[in-house]
Structure 1
Amino acid sequence: MKTTHIRLCRACAAVAAVGVLMVSTLAGPAYGATVAAPSTPASTVPSPDTDTGFVQLTPTVAAQLDAAVLQVMRKTQVPGVTVGLWAPGKGSYARTFGVADKATGAPMATGLHVRIGSETKTFTVTALLQLVDQGKAALDDPIDRWVTGVPNGDRITLRQLAGMRSGLFNYSLDEDFDKKFQADPEQSFTPQQLLDYAFKHPVLFPPGAQFDYSNTNLILLGLVVEKVTGRPLHEVITQDVLGPAGLRRTLFPTGSDMPDPYAHGYTNQTASGKIEDATDWNPSWAWAAGAMISDMQDLRSWARTLATGGLLTSATQAERLKTTPMDIPGAGYGLGIFDVQGWIGHNGSIPGYEVLPVYLPQAQATMVIVLNTDVRYEGQEPSTLFGQAVTSIVSPDHVYPGHEPLVPSTG
Structure 2
Amino acid sequence: MNVPGIPKGSPAPAAVAVALMLALAGCSAGPAPAPPSSSPSSPSSPSSPPISSNDALHPFDQAALEETFRETAQDLRVPGAAMLLRTPGGNLSYAYGVRSFGGSDPVTSADHVRIGSITKTWTTTVILQLVQEGKIQLDDPVADYRPNVPNAANITIEQLLTMRSGLYNYTEDQDLNQVLDADPGKAWTTDELLAVAFRHPPYFAPGEGFHYSNTNTVLLGLIAEALDGKPLTAAFRDRLFTPLRLTGSVFPEQASNAIPEPHPQGYMYGTNVLTLDHPALPKDMQKARLDAPRPVKADDPGGALYGLGIAKFGKLYGHTGELPGFNSFAGHDPANQVTLVVWTNLARTPDGQDPATTIARTLIGKIYR
Aligned to 1:183: 182
Secondary structure of residue in 1 paired with 2:258: coil
**What are the residue-to-residue correspondences of 1:80-95 with 2, within 5 Å?**
80-88=80-88, 90-95=89-94
**In 2, Cα distance between equivalents of 1:266 and 1:392:** 27
CA RMSD in angstroms comes to 2.4
- The alpha-carbon distance between structure 1 residues 185 and 370, as it changes in their structure 2 partners (threshold 3 A), is same
Secondary structure of residue in 1 paired with 2:359: helix
Aligned to 1:14: none
Q: CA deviation at 1:269?
A: 5.2
**In 1, Cα distance between equivalents of 2:73 and 2:318:** 24
Q: CA deviation at 1:273?
A: 6.7
Q: CA deviation at 1:332?
A: 1.4
- The alpha-carbon distance between structure 1 residues 49 and 209, as it changes in their structure 2 partners (threshold 3 A), is farther
**Aligned residues of 2:180 and 2:272 also touching (Cα < 8 A):** no
**What are the residue-to-residue correspondences of 1:164-313 with 2, within 5 Å?**
164-253=163-252, 254=254, 255-268=256-269, 270=271, 311-313=280-282
**In 1, Cα distance between equivalents of 2:270 and 2:157:** 31
Q: CA deviation at 1:35?
A: 2.7
Aligned to 1:358: 331
Which has the higher mean CA deviation after the structures are superposed, 262-271 or 173-182?
262-271
Q: Which amino acid aligns with 1:311?
A: A
Cα distance per residue 1:306-337 (max 9 Å; x no partner) = xxxx6112222222221121247353111111
**Aligned residues of 1:165 and 1:208 also touching (Cα < 8 A):** yes
- The alpha-carbon distance between structure 1 residues 388 and 208, as it changes in their structure 2 partners (threshold 3 A), is same
**Aligned residues of 1:330 and 1:340 also touching (Cα < 8 A):** no
Aligned to 1:64: 64
> Alignment identity in percent?
35
- The alpha-carbon distance between structure 1 residues 269 and 153, as it changes in their structure 2 partners (threshold 3 A), is farther
Aligned to 1:342: 315
Aligned to 1:383: 356
Q: CA deviation at 1:50?
A: 7.3
Q: Which amino acid aligns with 1:360?
A: D
**In 1, Cα distance between equivalents of 2:196 and 2:138:** 25
**In 2, Cα distance between equivalents of 1:376 and 1:142:** 40
Secondary structure of residue in 1 paired with 2:94: strand
**In 2, Cα distance between equivalents of 1:138 and 1:252:** 26
Which has the higher mean CA deviation after the structures are superposed, 239-248 or 117-126?
239-248
Equivalenced residues, count: 322
**Aligned residues of 1:267 and 1:375 also touching (Cα < 8 A):** yes
Which has the higher mean CA deviation after the structures are superposed, 218-227 or 373-382?
373-382
TM score, norm. by length of structure 1:
0.73
**Aligned residues of 1:186 and 1:256 also touching (Cα < 8 A):** no
TM score, norm. by length of structure 2:
0.81
Correspondence for 1:326 among 276, 288, 296: 296
**In 2, Cα distance between equivalents of 1:346 and 1:207:** 23
**Aligned residues of 1:166 and 1:217 also touching (Cα < 8 A):** yes
